[in-house]
Structure 1
Amino acid sequence: MPRSNRSRSGRDGRRDEHPELDVERLTAGWRRTEARGGVVWNVQPVSEAQAVKRYRCPGCGNDVDAGVAHLVTWRADGVLGDAADLAARRHWHTHCWRIGVG
């Protein structure tokens, strides 16, 4: 059957709008919490496509280059509040976080 080139419009002739994307909901699915040494951490993976800047890994002290998948971590139980914890987040090599260097 041939493909239709007609636009998919609503009944009133206008194109159906896409619902607003909830970025928080989309990224929260990948975020997890981990407990290490009595501290609860938020851990969020960053894909190669999302990694657009260079960071310093606190585990090994080497650079996490742009284009390299890695993890972003921040305290989930800090006493200064969520904003301060998020501002203090760090970018780790996945391996360094996994083996607990630092």
Structure 2
Amino acid sequence: MPRHNRRDRPPPRAASAGPLHRVESGPAGYEVDHHVRPISGAAATKTYLCPGCNHSILPGIAHIVAWPVDDRGGDDRRHWHTGCWRGRGGRTGYRS
């Protein structure tokens, strides 16, 4: 009779089992909260223009997608460099 080396293990968790996004408050002086979703480098397949620095986010670069909480359809989604998103409160001319 063949041996079975199976152990009673729980099935592996799916990669998407965790929350897909979080809600962040706007920087001081801006009352708009945003949904924020991190995008891994492997999932980044297009080129986007970062509104924080006006430079391209190339395919393969991990970044952030953010959109206002009150934007139900996600029509105002923007792709940001992670550093630009974190530093957005210190910039003049920032608009959510």
Structure 1 residue 33 corresponds to structure 2 residue 26: no
Question: Does residue 65 of the first structure (1) align with residue 65 of the second (2)?
Answer: no
| Rounded Cα–Cα distance in structure 1 between residues aligned with 2:34 and 2:49 | 19
C-alpha distance 38-3 of structure 1, shift in aligned 2 (>3 A): farther
Structure with the bigger percentage of helix? 1
Offset of residue 28 of structure 1: 6.2
Aligned to 2:11: none
RMSD: 2.6
Question: Aligned residue pairs: how many?
Answer: 78
CA drift of 1:93 comes to 0.1
Q: Which has the larger radius of gyration?
A: 1
Q: CA deviation at 1:27?
A: 7.1
Hey, which bits of structure 1, 4+ residues long, moved more than 2 A? none
Deviations 1:20-65, CA, capped at 9 Å, x for gaps: x8x9xx3761411111110010000000110000000000000000
Query: Secondary structure of the residue that 1:87 maps to in structure 2?
Result: coil
Q: Sort the Cα spacing of 1:72 and 1:48 in 2 relative to 1 into closer, same or farther, 3 A.
A: same
The percentage of aligned residue pairs carrying the same residue is 40
Match of 1:42 in 2: 35
Flag structure 2 segments of 5+ consecutive residues without an equivalent. Answer: 5-13
Aligned to 1:8: none
In structure 2, relative to structure 1, the CA distance for the partners of 1:27 and 1:42 (3 Å cut) is farther
Contiguous gaps of at least 5 residues in structure 1: 5-20
The 1:3–1:52 alpha-carbon spacing in structure 2 relative to 1, beyond 3 Å, is: farther
